Every structure is written in C-alpha cells, then in structure tokens.
Amino acid sequence: MSCMPTCTQLFRTHHAVGGAFAAALLVVAGCCSERTTSPTMAGGECRIPLDPSTIGATVVFIRDFAFHPSSVTVPAGGRVVWVNCDHSGSDHHTSTSDGPAWDSGLLAPGEVYARRFDQAGSFPYHCEPHPSMTATVLVE
C-alpha cells in the first residue's frame, strides 16, 4: 500500500483545509517517499501517487476526454498540476496553452505535468490531439 498522497487525497486536503495545514496534516498522517509506477483506478477516483512537492497546488484531472474542473482560479505564483487519470491504454493528452505560454507534451495515463503561474490573467488551454477538450486557468 502506497503512503504517497494521491490526486484525490491532495485535492480534497488542499481544498478542505488550505495548503500549509495540508502539508502538516500529510506529514502527521505518516506520508513517506514510496513511489508507485503503475496507477490504479478505482470507483471513478484518480489514484495516481503524486510527489509531495505538489502539496498546495491546484489539481486538474484529465479523464474521459475532459479537464476536471474546466476552470480553476489560482493566486499569482500558484501552481497547477495536470494528471492524466485515464485508464492504462487510453489516449495520451496534453495541457497546451492557446497562446505560447506552455505545452506539457503528451501525457500518458498516470503522467503528471505542473506549471507555476506568475502573472495575473486568463489562460485558456486545450488538448493538442483532442482540440474539443478545453479549459481555463484564471490567475488573480
């Protein structure tokens, strides 16, 4: 059993108690540096182990040809982490800015991409191989 925070754990903890307290809560809960190379999907939850450095970031799940949530708001200097939560053998996806700001490259199921947003603004993005997949990062 892995004691790394999963996408679901990180998302729920961050949004329920705030970033700094979440970090302390995860340490108290006994997290360790164990890594899992193969993601497991159960009951519609994303169970992909994340690096502890992602604590406090806003998580966007990629599943079923959509970004979840389709719009996130972060403060200037905030980080967004995209996680391809599709089942093994599913299509690869990207997080690609509609402008020249970023391109994650292809993310296989279970792969993660993180980006820090330093400037305020609205940043629409899409999946390069699936242009109907669209979403927005709003930086305040």
Q: What is the pLDDT of residue 11?
A: 44
Per-residue pLDDT tens for 58-103?
A: 999 999 999 999 999 999 999 999 999 988 778 899 999 999 999 9
Amino acid at 11: F
- Which SS3 state, helix, strand or coil, does residue 95 take? coil
Distance in angstroms (rounded) separating the CA atoms of residues 130 and 48: 22
Per-residue pLDDT tens for 102-137?
A: 999 999 999 999 999 999 999 999 999 999 999 999
Instruction: Return the minimum-mean-pLDDT range out of 16-20, 48-52, 85-89.
Output: 16-20
Would you say 111 and 104 are in contact if contact means Cβ atoms under 8 Å apart? no
- Which SS3 state, helix, strand or coil, does residue 91 take? coil
In the chain, what are the domains?
A: 7-139 (2.60.40.420)
pTM more than 0.75: no
